[in-house]
Amino acid sequence: MAKIFISFLGTNPYLHCKYKLDEENISEPVRYIQEALAQIVCKDWKKEDKILIFATNGEQGSIKKNWENGEVNKFDEFGKKFEKEPTGLKDRLEKLNLSSQIDMIPIPDGMKDGEIWKIIEEINNQIEIEDELYFDITHSFRYIPMIIPPLISFLKITKNIILKTIYYGAFETLGFPKDITSVELEKREAPIRELKELYKMIEWAEATTAFLKFGSGKDLIEQLDNIKSMPKKVNNSMLALKRNIEKVDNALKYNNISEFKIKDNIKIGKKIKLKEFPNLFALKELSPKIEGYLNQWDREDDIKNGILATKWCLENDRFAQALTFYQETLITYFISLLEMGDNKSYRGLINFIIKVKIGEKNKNEFSNNAMKEEYNQNIDKWLNFLDKIDNESLKYFVKISDWRNIINHAKKSNRKNMIKEFPNILEHIEKHILNQR
């Protein structure tokens, strides 16, 4: 794992200025933001770390104009006096005597079809697994900042990189170039902005998508954990939100319907004036979707939650999980209907009792010696309770149980027919049983 500084070199004759990262980190007057950042950020880096400068080829490219040579702006009298023998960025960086490697990577200007992908490939080729990346997007062509956010997302997946920061040297805050040339160097101080926070929007969106579409709340909880220096009321609300995200995550992860009973009615937007906290903009915009998703789960009704979980699994192509949720939902329903109580041993009885009711089993075939006496005492009562249920619904329950057994044990089956038929079974059972409770 190495530290990698990635920057793009433009073609303009840049003006001198001091670049300020914070009160303790202000560069000497330089023409190149890369030199300033190297002084400030890379001064303690080691030999395995890298400073990578991407520069364009050709007579009018940045390799010739600013890497190898580097003329001072002809209108900048103060700059000419300060830098009497102009040098390109290559020499400027080498004079810093840093321990890290310094490499220039030639790239096309990106104006032809396919060249932007070539630039992306060149950047990708310089990065190893779990490298820490420091981007500078101050110079070069205007499309470069458009490349960086999707590239970061891509590299997080392919190489598990760590994004440390994204720098931008805001030289334009000093005014128009023609006016700056008449300003003394000591008075030219441009701020360096760190833009990593803007990438947070992508992380928030990705984390929310992972939760809403795939049921994984881990990344969303991590984003909430990263919210720093908030008032106690905000922190308490974040804690409640995380608690409920975790409950739904666990419910979907472990097929546990009872976990869906979240504790609080989440209304973050009403509890906290999110607009008062600019750094919570992403959460403010995403919270209605997150809240809506959490608040759909019933705090009391396992049957309703089981149906919702089943439909969620089907919508998100989790057929095996949908079967499990639905079978467990129906078992919970039948245990209640047959007044069996909380004894977990009863759950194994349900399938046998229903098969007796629809004629697939003989009631005298029951062979569980531990429950034989209780079974003999109650079987007729249980069968009478099942008179309330239409025969087709009972057959569908058996089919669901058989399907779950087939899928979970990787038996041969016509999966396409199962997937096609399942929604019709859901609709029938909801109409004839579950909505009649």
Q: What percent of the chain has pLDDT over 70?
A: 97
Residue 271: pLDDT band with limits 50, 70, 90:
low
How big is the CA angle at 372 (ends 366 and 374), to the nearest 5 degrees?
125
Region of poorest pLDDT, from 11-25, 296-310, 321-335: 296-310
Q: How far apart are CA 396 and CA 429, in angstroms?
A: 8
pLDDT at 411: 83
Lowest-confidence pick of 18-32, 365-379, 383-397: 365-379
CATH number of 3-194: 3.40.50.10640
- For residues 162 and 257, the model is more confident at 162
Residues 57-95 have pLDDT tens digits of 888 899 999 999 888 888 888 998 998 888 999 999 999
Q: Give percent of the chain above pLDDT 90.
A: 61
Average pLDDT over residues 106-133: 92
pLDDT value at 343 more than 80: no
Please tell me the predicted confidence (pLDDT) of residue 132. Answer: 98
- pLDDT bracket for residue 47 (50, 70, 90): very high
Q: Taking the domains of the chain in order of start, what are their residue ranges?
A: 3-194, 201-295, 302-436
